[in-house]
């Protein structure tokens, strides 16, 4: 259902039942019956993790530490979605140990540049790039729609060295020109499968 339809349904149910059936009970019933592949693959929205009042985020309860942990968790989920079922089992442990802490540092460094009010507007994109695309996810300002950070993974094949996955990010400060290195993971001498395969 569309978001506005869900919100309207909440209001109508609340008014008609005077609290006998809560909207959350109704939506739990609806949501358990209508899962799609997209629901299973996409990371949950950051805003769903915060207290709500009348369908809107209660901004007085914003917690920067919780926000950053949620953002990092979504970044990890987006990365695993990008890797797909063939690449993920091979590089998952090294990614978690080497690359993910560097992603966390990049997110924290960026978050330090924003006042808390603006920080609440940062969101993560929902779909990594498939095939040979480098895109893992972007962090953008939901209010302006402008990308703040772009996280990528590039396949490299240096002579006589096999295939490597180079993780890096770009920032809006220099129009996404500079590669900020997050680390590299060795794949194999054989060509890796396409992303999300």
Angle at alpha carbon of residue 31, lines to 29 and 32, rounded to 5°: 70
In this prediction the pTM is: 0.69
Q: Where are the beta strands (DSSP E) in 77-133?
A: 122-124
Contact between residue 126 and residue 43 where contact means Cβ atoms under 8 Å apart: yes
With 0-12 / 13-18 / 19 or more C-beta atoms within 10 angstroms meaning exposed / middle / buried, residue 165 is buried
pLDDT per residue rounded down to tens, the chain (197 residues): 555 555 555 555 555 555 444 444 444 444 444 444 444 444 444 444 333 333 444 555 678 889 899 999 999 999 999 999 999 999 999 999 999 999 999 999 998 988 888 888 899 987 899 999 999 999 999 999 999 999 999 999 999 999 999 999 999 999 999 999 999 999 999 999 999 99
User: What pLDDT is stored for residue 39 in this prediction?
Assistant: 42
List CB contacts of 169: < 8 A, sequence separation 6 or more. Answer: 103, 106, 149, 150, 151, 152, 179, 180, 182
Give pLDDT, residue 87: 96
Alpha-carbon span 60 to 170, nearest angstrom: 32
The packing angle between helices 100-111 and 64-94, to 10°, is 160
């Amino acid at each position: 259902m569309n978001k506005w339809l869900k919100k309207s349904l909440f209001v109508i149910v609340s008014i008609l039942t005077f609290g006998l059936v809560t909207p959350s009970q109704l939506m739990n019933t609806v949501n358990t019956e209508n899962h799609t592949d997209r629901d299973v693959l996409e990371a949950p929205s950051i805003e769903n993790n915060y207290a709500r009042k009348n369908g809107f985020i209660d901004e007085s309860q914003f917690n920067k530490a919780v926000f950053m942990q949620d953002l990092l968790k979504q970044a990890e989920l987006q990365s695993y979605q990008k890797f797909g079922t063939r690449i993920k089992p091979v590089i998952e442990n090294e990614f978690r140990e080497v690359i993910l802490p560097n992603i966390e540092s990049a997110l924290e460094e960026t978050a330090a540049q924003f006042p808390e009010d603006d920080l609440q507007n940062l969101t993560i994109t929902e779909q990594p790039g498939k095939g040979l695309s480098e895109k893992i996810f972007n962090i953008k300002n939901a209010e302006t729609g402008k990308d703040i950070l772009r996280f990528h993974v590039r396949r490299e094949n240096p002579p006589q060295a096999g295939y490597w996955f180079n993780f890096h990010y770009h920032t809006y400060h220099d129009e996404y020109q500079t590669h900020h290195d997050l680390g590299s993971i060795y794949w194999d001498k054989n060509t890796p499968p396409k992303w999300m395969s």
